[in-house]
């Protein structure tokens, strides 16, 4: 679910030696991810309602495989963008479907299984960024991109087996009904907006960094392309322990979970200030601290289940939160490029990211402090 994003950014300078990738093309490639994920938030609940969770995930994986193959065979930035779009639309479908899958298959172990799949997803963000350039040096950038089609194919096999073994069971993938969510959309729920905002802050930071971090660090810290790839891998790799710890911690904190949003804001402030004030000293530390602020990503995904009462409401909240998050995140890479083009300085860019991360988190934390369920808020709204 993350290889298509993390495996491309470190290869941009190398791909640029084969065909031109200007600033506008890089910004567009960076924006495809959040836009695709936002599309996933719009369409996945509708697709799942027609074909069920399992077939939705099978469709998502097929799109990922197709996208990886197209990118590896690309002859210009346009075909690279088409392949990226296919892979990331598949990822967008999977993003929305995974929280309801956890609730459906593991209703009594939501936090634990969220930790498990988020940890594996963190590896799929960390590993591609780390190995992309070395593999490209060994077998070319096309081979580096194509390797992730193999991984996606392996992931497809157990879902096909799972579907085939239960396809005769008419109740297997029948969507659960939830009158409140069917009649009142999640946008009527303040808690749904809070969850979407928390996810948005993390997503803005994540996709801005995936698109621009190697370029930023080469400019402000004087690192090499290989070192910038390793730093991006560190940023992504920090998500592994966070993904494992945060869901369980959120469940144990209960009504005090809003404090995790505050802690995330503090990490963002410290990390961005470090990059602004001392980019060449402690670069690894500042990158790791900014990455730690992204604990809000697993926090938001576990809240999708902790603040809902059914598979259907979980699907509705998951789709809504990701529409909010990724529409916001889609603006980050092009705006970063625009700000840099206007000022020729990354200071304004990093300062803006820091301010946004704090300003958006404050109202979200205040709403989550109320400790309300989305289902209850929607019922009250009727």
Least confident of 120-134, 142-156, 184-198, 271-285: 120-134
Closest listed residue to residue 348, CA positions, set 359, 361, 338: 338
CA dist 285 and 272 (Å) reads 11
DSSP 8-state assignment for residue 278: -
For residue 187, the number of C-alpha atoms closer than 13 Å in the C-beta half-sphere is 5
Q: Is the pLDDT of residue 360 over 90?
A: yes
Model pLDDT, residue 178:
42
Exposed, middle or buried, 344 (CB in 10 Å: 0-12/13-18/19+)?
exposed
Indicate the pLDDT class of residue 10, thresholds 50, 70 and 90. confident
Is the predicted pLDDT of residue 246 greater than 50, yes or no?
yes
- In a 3-state reduction of DSSP, which class is residue 327? helix
Domain membership of residue 65 as a residue range: 3-381
b/e map of 191-218 (b: 16 or more CB within 10 Å)? bbbbbbbbbbbbbbbbbbbbbbbbbbbb
Tell me the mean pLDDT in the region 45-64.
90
Rounded-to-integer distance, Cα 311 and Cα 314, Å: 5
8 and 29 Cβ atoms separated by less than 8 Å: yes
pLDDT above 70 (res 173): no
pTM (global) more than 0.75: yes
More confident residue, 127 or 145: 145
User: Considering its fold, how many domains does the chain have in total?
Assistant: 1
Please report the beta strands in the chain, taking only residues with DSSP state E, as ranges in sequence order.
none
Residue where the block lists tokens 């700000």: 339
Altogether, the residues listed in the chain come to a count of 382
CA distance 126 to 229: 10
pLDDT in tens, 11-23: 888 888 888 777 7
Q: Are 245 and 118 in contact (CB under 8 A)?
A: no
pLDDT of residue 28: 72
Query: In this structure, what token pair is assigned to residue 316?
Result: 């509705």
Can you tell me the distance from the alpha carbon of 382 to that of 377, in angstroms, rounded to the nearest whole number? 9
State the helix-helix crossing angle for 190-221 and 225-237, rounded to 10 degrees: 160
What local confidence, expressed as pLDDT, does residue 184 receive? 44
pLDDT classification of 30: cutoffs 50, 70, 90: low
The CATH number assigned to the domain holding 63 equals 1.20.1250.20
Q: What is the pLDDT of residue 271?
A: 95
Which carries the bigger pLDDT value, residue 169 or residue 365?
Answer: 365
- Supply φ then ψ for residue 256, to 5 degrees: -100, 15
Give pairs for 284-290: CB < 8 Å, separation 24+: 284/231, 284/234, 287/213, 287/217, 287/231, 287/234, 287/235, 288/234, 288/235, 288/238, 290/205, 290/209, 290/235
Phi, psi of 41 (to 5 degrees): -65, -30
Per the model's pLDDT, the better-predicted residue between 263 and 319 turns out to be: 263
Max CA separation in the chain (angstroms): 62
- The CA distance from 233 to 134, in Å, is 13
d(CA 318, CA 48): 12
- As a whole number, mean pLDDT of residues 123-149 equals 87
């Amino acid at each position: 679910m993350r290889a298509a994003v993390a495996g491309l950014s470190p290869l941009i300078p190398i791909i640029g030696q084969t065909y031109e990738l200007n600033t506008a093309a890089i910004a567009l490639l960076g924006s495809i991810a959040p836009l695709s994920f936002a599309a996933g938030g719009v369409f996945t609940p509708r697709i799942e309602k027609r074909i069920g969770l399992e077939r939705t995930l099978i469709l998502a994986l097929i799109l990922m495989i197709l996208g990886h193959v197209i990118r590896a065979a690309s002859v210009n930035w346009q075909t690279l963008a088409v392949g990226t779009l296919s892979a990331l639309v598949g990822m967008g479908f999977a993003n929305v479907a995974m929280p309801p899958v956890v609730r459906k298959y593991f209703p009594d172990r939501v936090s634990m299984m969220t930790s498990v799949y988020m940890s594996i997803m963190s590896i799929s963000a960390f590993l591609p960024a780390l190995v992309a350039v070395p593999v490209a040096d060994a077998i070319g950038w096309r081979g580096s991109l194509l390797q992730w089609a193999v991984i996606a194919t392996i992931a497809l096999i157990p879902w096909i087996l799972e579907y085939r073994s239960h396809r005769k069971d008419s109740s297997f993938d029948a969507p659960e009904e939830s009158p409140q969510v069917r009649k009142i959309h999640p946008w009527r729920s303040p808690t749904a907006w809070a969850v979407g905002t928390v996810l948005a802050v993390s997503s803005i930071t994540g996709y801005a960094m995936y698109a621009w971090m190697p370029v930023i660090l080469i400019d402000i810290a004087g690192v090499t392309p290989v070192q910038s790839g390793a730093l991006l891998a560190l940023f992504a790799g920090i998500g592994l322990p966070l993904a494992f710890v945060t869901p369980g911690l959120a469940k144990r904190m209960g009504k005090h979970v809003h404090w995790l949003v505050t802690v995330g804001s503090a990490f963002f402030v410290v990390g961005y200030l470090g990059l602004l004030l001392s980019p060449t000293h402690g670069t690894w530390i500042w990158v790791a601290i900014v990455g730690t602020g992204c604990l809000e990503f697993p926090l938001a995904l576990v809240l999708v289940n902790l603040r809902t009462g059914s598979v259907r409401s979980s699907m509705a909240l998951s789709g809504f939160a990701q529409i909010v998050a990724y529409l916001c995140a889609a603006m980050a890479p092009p705006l970063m490029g625009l700000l840099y083009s206007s000022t020729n300085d990354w200071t304004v860019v990093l300062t803006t990211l820091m301010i946004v991360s704090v300003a958006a988190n404050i109202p979200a934390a205040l709403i989550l402090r109320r400790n309300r369920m989305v289902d209850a808020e929607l019922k009250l709204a009727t």
